[in-house]
Amino acid sequence: MGTAEITNKLWFGTFYNGLTDCVNHLLCKLSCFCAAVLISQKPKKEEAEHPVTTKKKSKEEIEAAKALKIKKKEEEEQQRWRWWGLFVFLYARCVGGGCMNLFMKERWEEDKYEDGVKWKFLEHRGPFFPPEYQHLPDNVNFYYNGKVVKLGLAAEEVALFFAQMLDHEYTTKDVFRNNFFKDWRKEMTLEERVLISDLNKCDFQELHTMHKEKVEARKAMSKEEKLVMKEANQKIVEEYGFCILDHHRERIGNFKIEPPGLFRGRGEHPKQGMLKKRIQPEDVIINCGKKSCIPEPPAGHHWKEVRHDNTVTWLASWTENVQGSCKYVMLNPSSKLKGEKDWEKYEVARRLKSCVNGIRQQYQQDIKSKQMETRQRAVALYFIDKLALRAGNEKEEGETADTVGCCSLRVEHITLHDLLEDKECVVEFDFLGKDCIRYYNKVPVTKRTCLLNKHLSSLLPGLTAKVFRTFNASITLQEQLQQLSNMTDNPTEKLLSYNRANRAVAVLCNHQRVPPKTFDQSMANLQSKIDGRREQLALAKSELKLAKKEVKAHSSDSKLQAVVERKKKAVQRCEEQLMKMEVQATNREENKQIALGTSKLNYLDPRISVAWCKNMEVPLDKIYNKSQRDKFAWAVDMTGADFIF
């Protein structure tokens, strides 16, 4: 590589990255200004095009709405921070020479901020607080032992939390009820506490009914009312939902403070039903840039603390009272901070690809090791790799539901069979994993923890137990897509193949869901639709036959010929619709207990999917919705059809 070229790149790198603050800032301001002008002009335009007849207006309105949508899209696209731009640029220039992964990658790493620094400038409005609780209307009553009891504000609010959940299974569980009652009593006045001593004598029915009515009323709102609500919400998002990070406006993920309520732990959680208390500004730590405006706390309040820590990515945090854990306000997945990290994750997984064979050989060896520790490590790694189990960190006993991962499996979770269902040496797993999802699997094995991660990172920098899940998920997707999809398939079949590949990964990672309550019913509905369509098709076919006969009889009458054509089209349309529905039925049936979203969002290198779409000529929006396209914008932008994981 010539010196001139290097110099050139370095210059560009410096230029791009260091682009003096004021110039960069100016550009940013300019683009914001332009957007503001465009927005402020829009209503005027619509007004100008106003009058004429109602029918025409509505048509025009539709057109205008469409144009507006496109414009908005373009604007968004223009405002998108293409933080991966330098990489793509350099890669494009260098890929011919094949030097990218060494020289340029290093250059790229160097250009990032110094160790641990995540940003230089960060400004935001602080989190958004839920509204204060308002007393119940006078005609809605809580009864104790059959008598009306007017509760104080605090106790009433908590009573309503319980009342709202009355339809939920939670409220029938002893643990939930006991925890709730204990915490509820803490919120009562002395008088209330003396009176209310038995949850079974509490009647929340009126509160429950009121809540349900409110929900119904919200559903039944007129279009106009809904629009008003929507606009009000958008205003909140506009104000609190964004921050400025290093000159770019970025969407915040969860800018709303979690409202108070009853803790809904998963599975047999010992703390379910406990009161999750209301968070005050006095509980909240704000994190922002030193030079930025400090967000204003709600009137009459102050923040717990304001700090300027640019080695972390959160904008605000508070400690939650049920588990004592920290909650954070962080950026949306489409942001640079999240996207870059995501990209990095997949790069580590790809690096594993080149050395996974060696690692596998080694743990097979280590399984025979004389040292107990080495042997245990090897077995754990074997299962993490083969079954995509999670690492299984230690948890405090009694504080959470009893769930395990690979390194925390206990004897009772495993049964060893010398022979099971014709297979030798079978390990039977049965345990509750993350979110209390049951893992059940029978695995034939061949005859012959923090320590684990340390060992892994010595094999490959950045390698940890969870990388195996990412790696095996992504590589499985790639292989399955390769095996299942054909260029000659129609679009519907192609999508089925994609879903099946995705499904293979979800099964591997044990991503489950409870089948929707309406599943059987909706399946039956679809089936009857299919049957109906079949009959229709048969009818259309016989009609076509008849029409053809007619043509033959009356030697090529042009009118009759046209009828035949029409009938042919009808048959075709019918066949297409039938095929679509049948594929839909297959897909839905196969998806009954499987959730695809988690793997798509967290485990599958998006570049595999983008490349597949390009190769198969499938539009990207068939497999990624808007927020997925936003999250993976970096991959969409930089990936060609030739990408291989």
Partner DNA sequence: AGCGGCACTTAGAAAATATCGG
Partner DNA sequence: CCGATATTTTCTAAGTGCCGCT
Restricted to residues 524-553, the positions that interact with DNA (CB under 7 A) are 525-526, 529, 532
Query: 27 vs 32, 82, 616, CA distance in Å?
Result: 9, 14, 39
Token digits of residue 266: 């998963």
118: contact with DNA by CB under 7 A: yes
564: contact with DNA by CB under 7 A: no
103 DSSP assignment: I
31: contact with DNA by CB under 7 A: no
Please work out, in degrees rounded to the nearest 5, the angle formed at the alpha carbon of residue 253 by the alpha carbons of 248 and 257: 120
Q: Map residue 168 onto helix, strand or coil.
A: coil
Binding residues for DNA, how many (CB under 7 A)? Answer: 81
Q: How far is the CB of 416 from DNA (least distance, A)?
A: 23
Which of 124, 208, 390, 494 lies at the binding interface for DNA (CB under 7 A)? 390
Instruction: Catalytic residue, from 170, 498, 603, 624: name it.
Output: 603
> 386 vs 529, which CB is nearer to DNA?
529
Which of 369, 512, 536, 615 lies at the binding interface for DNA (CB under 7 A)? 512
Amino acid identity, position 127: P
> 168 vs 423, which CB is nearer to DNA?
168
321: contact with DNA by CB under 7 A: no
476: contact with DNA by CB under 7 A: no
Q: How far is the CB of 641 from DNA (least distance, A)?
A: 24
> 199 vs 237, which CB is nearer to DNA?
237
439: contact with DNA by CB under 7 A: no
603 is catalytic: yes
Q: How far is the CB of 525 from DNA (least distance, A)?
A: 5
CA dihedral sign of residues 337, 338, 340, 344: positive
Closest CA to 429 of 470, 392, 472: 392
Closest CA to 364 of 298, 452, 445, 458: 445
> 297 vs 405, which CB is nearer to DNA?
405
Q: How far is the CB of 596 from DNA (least distance, A)?
A: 9
Cβ–Cβ < 8 Å for 480, 501 = yes
Euclidean distance between the first and the last CA atom of the chain, given in angstroms as a whole number: 27
Token digits of residue 519: 């599943």
CA dihedral sign of residues 203, 208, 210, 211: positive
Which 223-242 residues touch DNA, going by CB under 7 A? 226, 230, 233
Q: Which strands form 202-203's sheet, in the order they lie side by side?
A: 147-149, 142-144, 202-203
Residue tagged 């020479």 (tokens): 97
Which of 8, 361, 365, 457 lies at the binding interface for DNA (CB under 7 A)? 457
Which of 497, 499, 510, 639 lies at the binding interface for DNA (CB under 7 A)? 510
User: What's phi and psi for 328, nearest 5 deg?
Assistant: -125, 145
Which range, of 319-327, 369-377, 546-554, 637-645, touches DNA by CB under 7 A? 319-327
427: contact with DNA by CB under 7 A: no
265: contact with DNA by CB under 7 A: yes
DSSP letters spanning 598-641 = HHHHHTS-HHHHHHHHHHHT--GGGT--HHHHHHTHHHHHH--T
Q: How far is the CB of 332 from DNA (least distance, A)?
A: 8
283: contact with DNA by CB under 7 A: no
Which range, of 18-26, 60-68, 606-614, 620-628, touches DNA by CB under 7 A? 620-628
125: contact with DNA by CB under 7 A: no
Site string for DNA, 569-608 (x = CB under 7 A): -------------------x------x-xxx--xx-----
Which of 50, 182, 302, 341 lies at the binding interface for DNA (CB under 7 A)? 341
Cβ–Cβ < 8 Å for 462, 347 = no
Query: 169 vs 164, 280, 600, CA distance in Å?
Result: 12, 30, 30
Which of 470, 474, 478, 497 lies at the binding interface for DNA (CB under 7 A)? 470
Which range, of 340-348, 416-424, 543-551, 568-576, touches DNA by CB under 7 A? 340-348
Q: How far is the CB of 2 from DNA (least distance, A)?
A: 38
Site string for DNA, 75-114 (x = CB under 7 A): ----------------------------------------
Q: Map residue 135 onto helix, strand or coil.
A: coil
Q: How far is the CB of 163 from DNA (least distance, A)?
A: 13
CA 177 to chain CA mean position, Å: 32
Which of 120, 256, 353, 375 lies at the binding interface for DNA (CB under 7 A)? 256
455: contact with DNA by CB under 7 A: no
Token digits of residue 177: 């009820």
481: contact with DNA by CB under 7 A: no
Amino acid identity, position 462: G
CA dihedral sign of residues 472, 473, 475, 481: positive
635: contact with DNA by CB under 7 A: no
Collect all residues with Cβ–Cβ distance below 8 Å to 405 and sequence separation of at least 6.
389, 390, 391, 392, 393, 433, 434
Which range, of 17-25, 69-77, 177-185, 308-316, touches DNA by CB under 7 A? 308-316
Cβ neighbours of 398 (radius 10 Å): 8
Q: How far is the CB of 258 from DNA (least distance, A)?
A: 4
Q: Tell me the H-state helices in 198-335.
A: 205-219, 223-240
Which of 509, 618, 635, 638 lies at the binding interface for DNA (CB under 7 A)? 509
Q: Tell me the H-state helices in 301-443.
A: 336-366, 372-387
CA dihedral sign of residues 531, 535, 536, 537: positive
List the catalytic residues.
Answer: 603
